[in-house]
Structure 1
């Protein structure tokens, strides 16, 4: 696997190159355990995710991602960096002007602002057991005192605010873009995963309303020991959204 590690805005980024490029790129927005450093990344250390990248490369996709300042919890700085890295790669690599996105866990918190800023440059989005709502995650973590304190501390650090102001930040949510965007959305939910279990109802609501309004949307539930097999479904989903260049 040919790959490159570089820094953009002092954050480590990684690109995985296909042997036979199809001209399209996939941006990964990782979960809270995601990282990139000078020698590797979480997605390369985790065998299942490494397999996903290998399969995407084999299908011809250039795959890339950034460290995004660590636990960003969807802050604007991380969103802007993700956009800037994509724009940089468009200038330096031969890739289509519209990107596919794979957003796992808290990586999904960046997607709404990305849709707002560069909707016309996003071809499709795959969500893997996503965390779409800080408010719902906040309610879930309140029942676990240690995790709640950690969450609030990380949130305050990510948004550069006082911990006492986090509740106000959390309540400022609007999901209208998810309901209205013409971008194809594919939600994949692992049924055993409990980390973001309070998001299920919101995901189902978004998917149903989009389908009712004839907007491209799909929701699929998978069991944990089958989740590494979903990469072929992503490839099929991506190809359906590549009919128009």
Structure 2
């Protein structure tokens, strides 16, 4: 029987690679939101039928899919970014794959995707963002109106980056400062479901899209009303991925 999943550890974090029966030669890195996890022989994607359908359909399309536990609420810190880089390079080394990869990032995972778009431009083929967190300064200001949640956010930031105020401030400003440095050639597709995410449409996705458009960098935003499940975006995601495999040179 062919192996369809392989579990391993990297930097102490559990990880899994989904192996298609008929590989198309392309890697999809998944960067999850705050509730994302891989633990032992299971993950968030295994435990939720809608999410498993998303993985299973893309795997049947031939995509090799990899993701790991990411140190919990990392808020895009150096450890989570370094782990993502190692995960990509290790998978490209062990599997027969095109050297340019696709990225799917949800919520907090978009903070890692931003860093990849700035510092690992040669690795990226396309990026899909789902309800992304792209502006920590705006998110902090939003949480300030609710004292309990603001304290929780700042505690999580301190755990992710340390307690020095200047380091925390730099970390909070970093995502929006990355916008104008993101790769001008990599196509980015954003799906934003309003009211289903703590990261507002206007302060995250739309501001980021405007920044890309000012540079004439490729980006597309699709906005949905509440009630959509992740699997509802499967056809759009499949079409987007395949289109950008055809347009870019191998």
User: Does the TM-score normalized on the shorter chain lie above 0.5?
Assistant: yes
Bigger mean CA offset, 107-116 vs 126-135? 107-116
The separation in 2 between residues aligned to 1:169 and 1:211, in whole angstroms, is 25
| Corresponding residue number in structure 1 for 2:151 | 149
2:180 is matched with which residue: 169, 176, 181? 176
2:23 is matched with which residue: 21, 24, 30? 21
Contact 1:153/1:163 (<8 A) preserved = no
Contact 1:156/1:163 (<8 A) preserved = no
Structure 2: where are the runs of 5+ without partners? none
Question: Residue 157 of structure 1: SS of its match in structure 2?
Answer: helix
The question of 1:232 aligning with 2:235 is answered yes
Question: Residue 126 of structure 1: SS of its match in structure 2?
Answer: strand
- Cα deviation, residue 110, structure 1: 0.9
Task: After superposition, give the CA deviation of every residue in 1:69-106 in whole Å (9 maximum; x if it has no partner).
Answer: 11110001110110111100111011110110001000
Bigger mean CA offset, 145-154 vs 216-225? 216-225
Structure 1: where are the runs of 5+ without partners? none
- Cα deviation, residue 36, structure 1: 0.9
Task: After superposition, give the CA deviation of every residue in 1:171-201 in whole Å (9 maximum; x if it has no partner).
Answer: 35402124x521000010012314112x534
Question: Residue 168 of structure 2: SS of its match in structure 1?
Answer: helix
Question: Residue 232 of structure 1: SS of its match in structure 2?
Answer: helix
The question of 1:195 aligning with 2:198 is answered yes
- Cα deviation, residue 167, structure 1: 4.2
RMSD: 2.0
Scaled by the length of structure 2, the TM-score of the pair is 0.90
Contact 1:210/1:217 (<8 A) preserved = yes
| Corresponding residue number in structure 1 for 2:33 | 31
Paired positions, count: 243
| Corresponding residue number in structure 1 for 2:9 | 7
Scaled by the length of structure 1, the TM-score of the pair is 0.91
The separation in 2 between residues aligned to 1:47 and 1:108, in whole angstroms, is 23
Matching of residues 158-169 of structure 1 within 5 Å: 158-162=160-164, 166-167=168-169, 169=171
The separation in 1 between residues aligned to 2:197 and 2:160, in whole angstroms, is 23
Question: Residue 100 of structure 1: SS of its match in structure 2?
Answer: strand
| Corresponding residue number in structure 2 for 1:54 | 56
